[in-house]
Amino acid sequence: MGTSLSTVLWQLTYRAVVRSAFATVPFYREHWALDGRTDPVLVPGRTGRHGGAVDAATVLARRADLVPLAGGEAVVDPLRGLGAVLRRVEPLRTGTLVAVFGADSAPVDLPRGVRGWAVRPDDDVDAVLAQARGPVVAVGPDKQLQLLPDRPHLRRVPLRELDELDRGPHGLLVHPVLGVLAGLADCGRWHVDRTALYLRETDAGLAGTVLRQRSPRLVDTLLGDERVRLSACPRHRGPVLTPGLAR
Amino acid sequence: MNTKPMNTKPMSTDLDVEVLDPRHDPEPAYWAALRARAGLRADWAWDMLGTSAWLARLPLLVAVLHRAGAPVGVATGTYSGLPYHPKRFVPVRGGPLVGVWHVRAPASSALPGWWLDDGLTVRDVLRCRPAIGRGCAGVLLRQVGPEDLAVLPARARLVRPTEPTWTLPVHDVGDVTEWIGGLRRKRRAHLRATWRETNDDQRIVVDVATASTTDPAEVAHLLRHNENKYHGRFSPLPTAAGYLGALMRRDDVLTVTYRDRDTSALLAVGVTLDHPRWPMPRYWSMLPVERGGVRNAYFHHLTVLVDWAIGNGKQGLLLGKGKSEVKESLGAVPTEQSAVLVVR
C-alpha cells in the first residue's frame, strides 16, 4: 500500500484503535493477552495465531465482550457504513430516497437531505416508489432489486459478498460483521472507505477493523476469503480490494 | 520450587515471601499440590488467576509464604491505589504508584484471600507487604472473622464490619424434601410450590451438569442482565466469556441450566465451584420474566443445588454475601466479617 502520508495516518489510527481495544474491551484484552498478536505486539513474546485476528463466527459469538468497559451497544450492524460508502459510488442529491432491503433500520450516515428507508417484507414498495418525488436508490440483494418496477429515477445498487468481487457494474461489498467494506467506483475497482475501515494482511487473509465505532468494537476480524487482496487504485490512489489467486 | 530472586524477600523469621504476578510468571511447580492441600476452588487454578489478572483494573499479585523451602501459606489480592482508571484494564507492566494490597479471594468477595498452614496466622500475611511494591502503604484484609481479628495488631489498624457471609449446612438432612420441611412456614410453602411448578413446567428443561457442556459465551451474555442491575463505578468488571470458558472447562465446576424446550435458548443459569465439603454457587443470572424468564428460578436453582449437595455428601453450600433475609429464610447461617486496614 506504499508509504504515503495518508497510508501512514491510516496505520497510526489503526494502532491507536488496537491499543484502546486492548485497554478497554474484554474480548481483545483476553485474546491478545493470553494468545498474543502482531503489528503491534502488545505483550512481549506473545504473537498469537493469524497475527491476533479472529474469524467472524467467533466475533459474533463473543459480542457481549466487544462492549468497552465504559458501556455501549453489543449489536453488530451488518450494513454498518452503508451511507458513507454509498455516497462515494452514487450521487446522492437532496431529496433522494435510499431504500434498503434486508436492513433492520434505515442507514444513519446519509448526507443531509437524503432520506433512508429500511424496507420491511410487508411494505408496499410499488406505492412508495410511485409517490417518490426525487431519485430513488434501491440497495439490497440482487434478487429483490430485480423485482422492482422500472422507473426513470430508480437506480439499483446490489449488495455483493466477497466471492462476487468480479461482478459489476455497480455494487456495495458487505461482510456479516464488518458491514459495508467497499463500493464499486467508476474505475471498476472496489474502493475501501478508509476513514472508517482498516484492512491488514494476515496469514489467514485480510482482516478488517472498524476505526470509528465505539461499541461494539470490531478489530481484526478476518474477511474469510483468503483470495481477496488489498492494493492501491492506480487511478484514485486509495486502497481497493481485488480478487486474487487461491493460496 | 519456583523462586525468583527479584521477588523473593527473606524475612526476619524463618518465613520467606515469594510474590508472583500470574500474568507474567509461570505456574510454580508446587501450585497444584498447594491448591489441593488448601482446598482452594477452581478460581485459584494458575491459569484462572492469570486470566483474572489480565481482566482486572489493578495488578493481581499472589504472595506465597515458604518455610524451609516449602510453601506453607498463600495470599492473593490486588495492589489497589492511584492512579486508578475504572474504565481501563491494568497496564501490561507497572501499577499504582501508591496504594494498599487489597487481599481477597480472586473471583469472589465472599471469601478470605488467604490460606495458611497450621502454626501461621493472618498476621503473617502482613509480612508480605514490603514485597508487594515500594508504594504499598498497608494491607487491606477482607472477610476477617473474629478469631483472625484477635491476632491482628491492635495499633495502626482500621476495622469496619462488613456484610456477613452465609453458609447453608445440609450434612444433617436426608433429602431436599426434609430440608424444605425444616424451613419456616412461608418459605416452606413457597419453595414447595416453586419446586413442583418448575419441575412440572413442560416449557423448560432443567439440567445439572459439568460446566464444560455449556457454552460460556451464552452464559456470559446472560450474566450481563444481572451485572447491569448492580452496575456502579466501583462494581466488579463484567465477567468475560474467555474467563468463563477457562473456568467452565474445568472438572470441578458445575452448571444448572434452564432452557426453552423448543428453542434451546438459555433462560437462566447458575455456575457453581465445587469443593470436597463446601461448594460455592459463584454466578447466577436469568432472563427477566417479562422476556421469557422462569419465575422463581433463583429459588429453584438453590433447591437443585441443595439436592445435589446432599446427594454428593457435601457439608453444605457457601452462599456468599448479600440478600441476607432470603438466605436466612433458607436456613443459612451468618458468619460475621470485618474489613481491616493495617498500615505500615
**What is the per-residue pLDDT across A147-195, written as a single tens digit (0 to 9) for each?**
888 888 899 999 999 988 888 778 999 999 999 999 999 889 999 999 9
- For residue A104, name the pLDDT band (cuts at 50, 70, 90): confident
Tell me how far apart the terminal alpha carbons of chain A are, to the nearest angstrom.
20
Is there a domain that residue B208 lies in?
Answer: yes
For A94, other C-beta atoms within 10 Å of its C-beta total: 10
CA dist A178 and A80 (Å) reads 7
> What pLDDT score does A155 carry?
92
pLDDT at residue A48 is higher than 60: yes
For B74, other C-beta atoms within 10 Å of its C-beta total: 24
Which residues does chain B have within 8 Å of residue A42's beta carbon, measured at their own beta carbons?
Answer: 92
Q: B45 with B185, same domain?
A: no
Is there a domain that residue B320 lies in?
Answer: no
Least confident piece of the model among A108-112, A213-217, B331-335: A108-112
CA dist A243 and A128 (Å) reads 37
Determine whether the interchain pair A23/B243 forms a contact, defined as Cβ–Cβ distance below 8 Å: no
B84 in contact with A at a CB cutoff of 8 Å?
A: no
Q: B143 with B21, same domain?
A: yes
Tell me how far apart the 2 most distant CA atoms of chain A are, in Å. Answer: 63
The stretch B228-238 carries a mean pLDDT of: 69
Cβ A25 vs Cβ A217: under 8 Å: yes
> What pLDDT score does A247 carry?
47
Is there a domain that residue B2 lies in?
Answer: no
CATH of the domain at B232: 3.40.630.30
Cβ B327 vs Cβ B166: under 8 Å: yes
Phi, psi of A43 (to 5 degrees): -115, 115
Q: B41 with B146, same domain?
A: yes
The total number of structural domains in chain B stands at: 2
Is there a domain that residue B50 lies in?
Answer: yes
> What pLDDT score does A4 carry?
83
CA dist A132 and A126 (Å) reads 10
Q: B203 with B96, same domain?
A: no
pLDDT at residue B25 is higher than 80: yes
CA dist B37 and B64 (Å) reads 14
Question: What SS3 state is found at B318?
Answer: strand
CA dist B301 and B208 (Å) reads 10
> What are the DSSP E strand ranges found in B33-113?
60-67, 70-82, 98-103
**Which of B27, B48, B87 best probes binding to A when mutated, by most A CB atoms within 10 angstroms?**
B87
Cβ B303 vs Cβ B195: under 8 Å: yes
- For residue A245, name the pLDDT band (cuts at 50, 70, 90): low
A30 in contact with B at a CB cutoff of 8 Å?
A: yes
Q: Is the ipTM of this complex over 0.90?
A: no
Q: B207 with B230, same domain?
A: yes
Cβ B153 vs Cβ B342: under 8 Å: yes
Q: B195 with B153, same domain?
A: no
- For residue A25, name the pLDDT band (cuts at 50, 70, 90): very high
Of A58, A54, A79, the closest CA to residue A174 belongs to A79
CATH of the domain at B157: 3.40.630
Q: Among partner residues B23, B237, B241, which is closest to A62 by beta-carbon distance?
A: B241
Tally of CA atoms within 13 A in the half-sphere of A41 that contains its CB: 7
- For residue B233, name the pLDDT band (cuts at 50, 70, 90): low
Q: B21 with B83, same domain?
A: yes
- For residue B338, name the pLDDT band (cuts at 50, 70, 90): very high
A205-210: strand order across its sheet = A197-202, A205-210, A221-222
Cβ B75 vs Cβ B67: under 8 Å: no
Q: B106 with B160, same domain?
A: yes
Determine whether the interchain pair A24/B241 forms a contact, defined as Cβ–Cβ distance below 8 Å: no
For all residues of chain A together, what is the average pLDDT? 91
Question: What SS3 state is found at B83?
Answer: coil
Which residues does chain A have within 8 Å of residue B217's beta carbon, measured at their own beta carbons?
Answer: 61-62, 64-65
Evaluate the CA torsion angle B145, B149, B150, B152 in order and state its sign: positive
Determine whether the interchain pair A64/B243 forms a contact, defined as Cβ–Cβ distance below 8 Å: no
Q: How many H helices and E strands in chain B?
A: 10, 14
Q: B52 with B150, same domain?
A: yes
Determine whether the interchain pair B242/A34 forms a contact, defined as Cβ–Cβ distance below 8 Å: yes
pLDDT higher at A110 or A132: A110
Q: B77 with B103, same domain?
A: yes
C-alpha distances in Å from residue A141, one per residue of A103, A138, A155, A199, B255: 11, 10, 14, 24, 43
Of A176, A127, A183, the closest CA to residue A158 belongs to A183
CA dist B321 and B165 (Å) reads 5
Is there a domain that residue B104 lies in?
Answer: yes
C-alpha distances in Å from residue B140, one per residue of B65, B104, B132, B162, B279: 18, 9, 13, 13, 26
Residue A42 Cα, gap to closest chain B Cα (Å): 8
Question: What SS3 state is found at B316?
Answer: strand
- For residue B4, name the pLDDT band (cuts at 50, 70, 90): very low
> What pLDDT score does A133 carry?
82
Which residues does chain B have within 8 Å of residue A46's beta carbon, measured at their own beta carbons?
Answer: none
pLDDT at residue B10 is higher than 80: no
Q: Kindly state the percentage of chain B with pLDDT values over 70.
A: 94
Determine whether the interchain pair A30/B88 forms a contact, defined as Cβ–Cβ distance below 8 Å: no
Q: What is the DSSP letter of B188?
A: H
**Nearest-CA residue of chain B relative to A46?**
B24
Q: B151 with B215, same domain?
A: no
Identify the domain containing residue B20 by its residue range.
8-164+338-343
CA dist A136 and A96 (Å) reads 6
pLDDT at residue B156 is higher than 80: no
The stretch B79-97 carries a mean pLDDT of: 91
The stretch B93-120 carries a mean pLDDT of: 90
CA dist A192 and A183 (Å) reads 7
pLDDT at residue B12 is higher than 60: no
Q: Among partner residues A26, A61, A63, which is closest to B240 by beta-carbon distance?
A: A26
Q: B154 with B201, same domain?
A: no
Q: Kindly state the percentage of chain A with pLDDT values over 70.
A: 98
Burial of A60 (0-12, 13-18, 19+ CB in 10 A): middle
pLDDT in tens, A72-86: 988 999 899 999 999
The stretch B83-94 carries a mean pLDDT of: 91
pLDDT in tens, B164-179: 999 999 999 999 999 9
> What pLDDT score does B225 carry?
78
pLDDT in tens, B256-285: 999 999 999 999 999 999 999 999 999 999
Q: Among partner residues B87, B88, B240, which is closest to A65 by beta-carbon distance?
A: B240
CA dist A128 and A99 (Å) reads 10
pLDDT in tens, B242-255: 889 989 999 999 99
Residue with cell 465439603: B277
Is there a domain that residue B319 lies in?
Answer: no
Is there a domain that residue B202 lies in?
Answer: yes
Evaluate the CA torsion angle B163, B167, B168, B169 in order and state its sign: negative
> What pLDDT score does A140 carry?
93
Torsion angle of C-alpha atoms B255, B258, B259, B260, degrees rounded to 10: 180
Q: Which residues 195-224 of chain B have a CB within 8 Å of chain A?
A: 215, 217, 220-221, 224
Is there a domain that residue B323 lies in?
Answer: no
- Residues in CB range of B250: below 8 A, 6 or more apart: B42, B45, B48, B211, B212
> What pLDDT score does B230 carry?
66
Q: Among partner residues B215, B217, B242, which is closest to A30 by beta-carbon distance?
A: B242
pLDDT at residue B11 is higher than 80: no
Q: Which residues 85-104 of chain B have a CB within 8 Å of chain A?
A: 86-89, 91-92
C-alpha distances in Å from residue B57, one per residue of A89, B45, B91, B285, B320: 45, 20, 8, 23, 23
pLDDT at residue B45 is higher than 80: yes
Residue with cell 492469570: B50
pLDDT at residue A145 is higher than 70: yes
> What pLDDT score does A38 carry?
96
CA dist B228 and B287 (Å) reads 12
The identity of residue B293, as a single letter, is: G
A42 in contact with B at a CB cutoff of 8 Å?
A: yes
